[in-house]
């Protein structure tokens, strides 16, 4: 049990801006527990987003535009924009259309290029539009916000489990020390539990199916373009997954509310 308590602390230290000033053990057992808890991290974030979304619509005097801005801003405030840097680095490397070695060099370059800045603007703008349209549709969609970070975080664990690292050092290789054969089965249990609550909701099945196709496509792209996964690519993949799921939410509310 203590491994999971340490793992929870590691998750807070690495993936949120919540201050936790404590030195924690980061051996294989703790890292294995971290990967196992990834879906719970996503679930916790999703519950927070859903609660804020619902509360602001139902109880606040704010306009739909203001509520959308606050909901859009919340993940950035919670994580400190942790994955946005990876998104920008991926865009610079991907759109360089260079060979694998050069792409990896661009990926590790701390400077932001034109493609990275453009990709960041497009990501944030598109996500804001999707959030705003969902806010206009009403508070009944709050429950589906739980699924977005849950599925995206679960995919991050799958990328770590099934994609080789590009190098022996780095954040991805570090967390891959926690790989275990049981991990896909544990994630399957989480998915079954979520399916129990969303069994009769077509949107759940659409989001889950889209997440699986996204995983297959992005994993192949990582291996083809970069030779594996890095910390930056994990961040980019998670941002891309959340954007995809927000887009599905937007399409759903658009067709329903017409």
Give the mean model confidence (pLDDT) for residues 179-203: 94
pLDDT band at 98 (very low <50, low <70, confident <90, very high): confident
**Which pLDDT score, from 0 to 100, does residue 257 have?**
59
Q: 6-46, pLDDT tens digit by residue?
A: 888 888 888 888 877 777 788 898 999 999 999 999 999 99
What's the pLDDT score for residue 258? 54
* CA 162/CA 140 separation, integer angstroms: 36
Tell me which of 28-32, 36-40, 102-106, 157-161 is least confident: 102-106
CA angle 90, 237, 73 (to 5 degrees): 95
Which residue intervals of the chain are DSSP H helices?
Answer: 2-15, 28-59, 64-79, 84-94, 100-107, 114-137, 147-162, 171-175, 183-198, 202-226, 231-257
What confidence score (pLDDT) does residue 9 get? 87
For the chain, give the mean pLDDT. Answer: 91
Query: Which pLDDT score, from 0 to 100, does residue 42 have?
Result: 96
Q: How many domains does the chain have?
A: 1
**The predicted structure's pLDDT at residue 80:** 86
In the numeric block, the tokens 């703008």 are attached to: 125
Signed CA dihedral, 178, 182, 186, 187: sign only: positive
Average pLDDT value for residue range 122-146: 96
Model-level pTM? 0.94
- Averaged over 129-137, what is the pLDDT? 96
248 has a pLDDT exceeding 70: yes
Provide the residue range defining the domain that includes 238.
2-257
Which carries the bigger pLDDT value, residue 4 or residue 221?
221
Residue-wise pLDDT for 68-86, tens only, equals 999 999 999 998 888 898 9
In the prediction, which pLDDT does 170 show? 82
């Amino acid at each position: 049990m203590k491994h999971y308590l340490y793992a929870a602390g590691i998750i807070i230290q690495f993936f949120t801006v919540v201050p936790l000033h404590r030195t924690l053990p980061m051996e294989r057992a703790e890292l294995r527990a971290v990967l196992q808890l990834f879906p719970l991290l996503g679930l916790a974030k999703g519950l927070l987003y859903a609660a804020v979304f619902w509360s602001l619509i139902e109880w606040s005097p704010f306009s739909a535009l203001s509520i959308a801005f606050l909901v859009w801003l919340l993940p950035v405030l919670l994580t400190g924009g942790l994955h946005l840097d990876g998104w920008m680095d991926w865009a610079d490397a991907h759109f360089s259309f260079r060979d694998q070695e050069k792409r990896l060099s661009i990926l590790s370059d701390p400077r932001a290029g034109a493609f990275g800045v453009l990709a960041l603007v497009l990501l944030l703008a598109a996500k804001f539009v999707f959030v705003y349209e969902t806010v206009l549709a009403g508070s009944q969609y709050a429950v589906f916000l739980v699924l977005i970070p849950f599925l995206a975080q679960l995919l991050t664990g799958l990328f770590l489990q099934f994609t080789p690292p590009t190098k022996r050092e780095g954040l991805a290789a570090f967390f891959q020390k926690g790989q275990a054969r049981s991990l896909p089965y544990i994630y399957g249990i989480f998915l079954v539990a979520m399916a129990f609550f969303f069994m009769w909701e077509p949107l759940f099945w659409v989001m889950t199916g889209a997440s699986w196709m996204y995983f297959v496509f992005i994993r192949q792209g990582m291996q083809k373009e970069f030779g594996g996964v890095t910390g930056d690519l994990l961040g980019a993949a998670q941002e891309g997954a959340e954007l995809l799921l927000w887009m599905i939410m937007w399409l759903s509310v658009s067709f329903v509310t017409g």
